[in-house]
Amino acid sequence: MSQTEVQKTTVRVPVFEEEFREDLGWWYKHDVQKAYKVLDLVQAILLDPFTGIGKPEPLKYLDADTWSRRIDLEHRVVYTVTHDRINFLQARYHYE
């Protein structure tokens, strides 16, 4: 099995950090369509953290395992990927 196949078949536990949960709550209060977009991105990330919707890109100025996907032109979902987890860090603004 290739490394790509292993990456795609690996089951990773999602971990939703406090800032991510707060950001998602903010979206539900202020723009429910963006909240649904965030949930769509979460689902896509869980299926394959490295390809798919939202233009996934590794963040070169942060940890090598840190990635982002576009919610819109201003806001991003930021997450880290390890062999057994995906930590969802934030869902508003650019990378912090």
Domain containing residue 58: CATH number: 3.30.2310.20
- Tell me the mean pLDDT in the region 35-50: 98
4 pLDDT band, cuts 50/70/90, is low
The residue range of the domain holding 31 is: 14-90
Catalytic residues: 57, 94
Residue 63: inside a domain:
yes
Residue 86: inside a domain:
yes
User: How confident is the prediction for the chain on average, in pLDDT?
Assistant: 90
Strands (E), the chain: 13-16, 57-58, 66-70, 76-81, 85-90
Residue 9: inside a domain:
no
Residue 20: inside a domain:
yes
Q: Are 80 and 87 in contact (CB under 8 A)?
A: yes
Residue 1: inside a domain:
no
Number of domains in the chain: 1
Q: pTM for the full model?
A: 0.86
84 φ/ψ angles, rounded to the nearest 5 degrees: -130, 0
Q: How far from the centroid of its chain's Cα atoms is residue 29's Cα?
A: 20
